[in-house]
Chain A
Amino acid sequence: MNSHKPIRHAVMTVLGLLFAAAYFFPFYWMVNSALKPRSEIMTSTPLFWPKHITMQNFVVAITQTNFMINLKNSLIVVFSAVVFSVIFAFFACYALTRFCFRGRAAFMVGILVIQMLPGTAMLIPQFLVFNQLGLLNTYLGLILAYVSAVLPFSIWNLRNFFLNIPIEVEEAAMIDGANTWQILWHITFPLLVPGLVSTSIFAFISAWNDYLTAYTFMKDQSMYTLPVWLASFTTPRGVDYGSQMAAATLFSLPVVIVFLLVQRKVTEGAALGAVKG
C-alpha cells in the first residue's frame, strides 16, 4: 500500500494544477489580451503568450473621455456609502447587542429578509421615489441607494464582532464611572477595529461592483460609475478587445487585491452569506 502513496500524491498534484490552470484561464486571458498589441489580438490562431508586451491598451482605456470622471464618481459614491453604512451599523449593533428591548429579534429577521429581496423589487420603487425627489442622476441618490443596500449586511456582519467582545471590559469601565458614549468611544470602538475593517471591505466590494442600480439611476455619461463605464466601453474605432480587457483589468484590480489580502476573512464571512462575486 505504502509504495502507491507517492504516485497517488503526484497524480493528485498534477490534477490539482490542471484544475487550477483551467480555472485561472479566463482571468489569464483578460490580462493576456490586455498586454497584447492590436495586431496580436485578432489572429486566426490565438496567441497564448504576447509576443510584444505593451501598455498601449491601458493608455487607450485610461485616456477614454470619461474614465477619470467615472472613476471619480465611483470613488465618491462608494466611499460615502461605505462610511455612512459602517457608522450606522456600528451604532445599531451596539444597541442590538448591549441593550434589552422589545423587537430586537424582529429587527434582525427583518434585516435578513431585506437581504433576500430580488434586485428589481427595490429598484422600481426607489427609482420612482428618487424621480419625484429629483435624486436620479445625482451622487446623493446613488449613495442613499447603496447605503440602504449595504447596511443590512453590514449590521449582520458587525454584530458578530460585537458579540465576541467580552462585555466584562465594558462593565469594568462602567463601574469606573464612564458613561455610554465614553464606553462606546474609548472601549468598544478600539476593540472593534477588525470588525469595522471587515465590514468596510464587504461594503466596498458590493458597492464598487454594482452595475444595475447605477445603470438605472445615472443617465448622463458624465455621471456613470466605473461598472457602467466598463459595460458600455467602446472606442471610436468600435469594439477594441485589447483596451476593453485592459479596462476590465483596471476595474477588477482593486477588488482582486483586497480579496487576496483578506482571503481568510473573506472565506469566513462567506459562510455568513456575505459576498456575491
Chain B
Amino acid sequence: MSEVTRSVKISRRRNGHPVVREEHKLGYSTKTAMLLLTPSGLILGALVVVPLIFLVFTSFTDFNQRTLFTGEFNVVGLSTYAAVLADSEFWWSVVRTVLLMAACVAGTVLLGMAVAQFMTKLGKVTQYIVTVTMILAWAMPEVASAEVWNWLFQPGYGVINWLLTQLHVFGDVTNVSWANDARLAYICIWLLVVWQAIPFVAVTMFAAIQQVDPSCIEAAKIDGAGPVRLYWMITIPLVKPTLLLVTVLSIIWDFNIFNQIWLVSKGGPDNATANLGVFTYKKAFVGFDIGNGAAISVITTLMLLALTAVYIRSLLKSGEDLV
C-alpha cells in the first residue's frame, strides 16, 4: 500500500510546564489527514475566507439596496474609501470606538484585578459566594442583560433613578432618560459592559494568583517587602502572561462592542454612542450603502489587526506549541 510511515511530532503543554517534545512513529498517511480536515476546511473556506475576499471586493463597488435585487453594480475603485475617509462621522465613530474601548478595557482589567486580589483575602465560603454571583452575571446572555439594564435605568420607575434620587445629591432624577443623553448613555453602556466582563477577568486572574509559588512570597516577605511592594514586584510579574492574555482579549471584545450599544441606545442620541460596529451596521443594513459599509469593515478589521499585531506576532513566534 502507499501508506507513508511518518514520524509524528507531538508537543504537549501540561499546565504551563515547558513543552515536551516526543517522537512517535505512526503509520498514518497524509491522505487520511487531508480527508479529516476536509469538512472544516470547506466550511472555513467557503464561509469565512471566500466571504472575506468578497468583502474586500465589495468595498471597491457601489453595491447598494438595488443591487440586492438586480445584481447590478459598478466597480468604483478607491472612491468608496475616499468617501469614507472624507466623512467626519466615520472619524467620530473611530474616536468613540477607541475611547469606549479604552474606558471599558481599563475598567474591566483594573477592577477585575482588584476583585481577584480581594478574593484572595476572603474565607472559602465567601469566596465561593462571590464566584457564583459573578458567574451569574457572566452567564447572562447579552440580550437579556441589556433588557435588564433598560429596566434598571428606566425613566420613571427604574430602580437606579429611584436610588439616585434617595441620595439627595443629584436632586430629583426620577424621570431622567439615560439613553437620551450622550454622557449618561455612555455611563449606562460602560456599566453594562464592565459588569459582564469583570467576572471573566476576576476569575481568571484569581486562578493565576493562586498558582503563584508561595515560597516566592515568603522569600520576599523575609527580605522585608510590604504588601504593596509584594504585589507589584512579585505577584504582577508572575501573573503577567495571563494578565496580558486577558487584556488582549478585552481589547478585541471591547473594540467590537455592538449588542450592548444597539440594545440600550441604538447608537443614539444623534449617533453620539455609535462606535464603528454600530456605524457600519447602520451604513450597510439600515441605509443599505453596502459598498461603503464594506470599506468601513475592511478599515475596522485592519485597525483591529494592527492593535493586536504584537499579540499575533508572539503567537507566530511560539509556533512551537501550535504544531
Contact = CB atoms under 8 A, between A and B. Distances in A.
A193 B79 CA distance: 53
Contacts of A105: 319, 322-323
Contact of B39 (A29, A91, A164): A91
Main DSSP-derived SS at the A contact region = helix
A174 B27 contact: yes
B126 A16 contact: yes
Contacts of A266: 135
A95 to B, nearest CB: 4
B123 interface: yes
A128 B63 contact: yes
A3 to B, nearest CB: 18
Interface string B51-66: 1101100100001000
B12 A164 contact: yes
A192 interface: no
Please indicate which of the listed interface residues B27, B30, B142, B196 has the most CB atoms of chain A within 10 Å of its own CB.
Answer: B142
A271 interface: yes
A119 interface: yes
Contacts of B137: 23-24, 26-27, 277
A122 B312 CA distance: 20
A33 B151 CA distance: 9
Interface in B1-39: 6-14, 22, 24, 26-28, 30, 32-34, 36-37, 39
B80 interface: no
Contacts of A131: 68
A231 B6 CA distance: 54
Interface string A238-262: 0001001100110110011011100
Nearest to A125: B51
B293 A42 contact: no
B74 to A, nearest CB: 16
B85 interface: no
Interface string B118-139: 1101110011011111111111
Given A212-B259, A273-B249, A20 B148 contact: no
A221 interface: no
A235 interface: no
Contacts of B54: 125, 128-129
A248 B10 contact: no
Contacts of A129: 50-51, 54
By size class, the interface of chain A is 35 or more
Interface stretch (B152-160, B182-190, B218-226, B228-236): B152-160
A79 interface: no
B78 interface: no
Please indicate which of the listed interface residues A26, A95, A114, A131 has the most CB atoms of chain B within 10 Å of its own CB.
Answer: A26
Given A27-B140, A30-B148, A101-B33, A92 B297 contact: no
A241 B157 CA distance: 10
A91 B58 CA distance: 34
Contacts of A49: none
A185 interface: no
Nearest to B290: A124
A89 B298 CA distance: 28
Contact of B143 (A92, A132, A211): A211
B138 A100 contact: no
Contact of B122 (A12, A111, A119): A12
Contact of A29 (B136, B148, B258, B262): B148
B178 interface: no
Given A42-B157, A121-B297, A270-B200, A227 B44 contact: no
B58 A19 contact: no
Interface of A: 9, 12-13, 15-17, 19-21, 23-24, 26-27, 29-30, 33, 41-46, 87-89, 91-92, 94-101, 104-105, 107-114, 116-129, 131-132, 144-145, 147-148, 151-152, 155, 163-164, 167, 170-171, 174, 180, 208-209, 211-212, 216, 227, 230-231, 233, 241, 244-245, 248-249, 251-252, 255-256, 258-260, 263, 266-267, 270-271, 273, 275-277
Interface of B: 6-14, 22, 24, 26-28, 30, 32-34, 36-37, 39-41, 43-44, 47-48, 50-52, 54-55, 58, 63, 68, 71, 115, 118-119, 121-123, 126-127, 129-149, 151-152, 154, 156-157, 159, 162, 195-197, 199-200, 203-204, 207, 242, 245, 249, 252-253, 255-256, 258-259, 262-263, 276-277, 280-281, 284-285, 290, 293-294, 296-298, 300-301, 304-305, 308, 312, 315-316, 319, 322-323
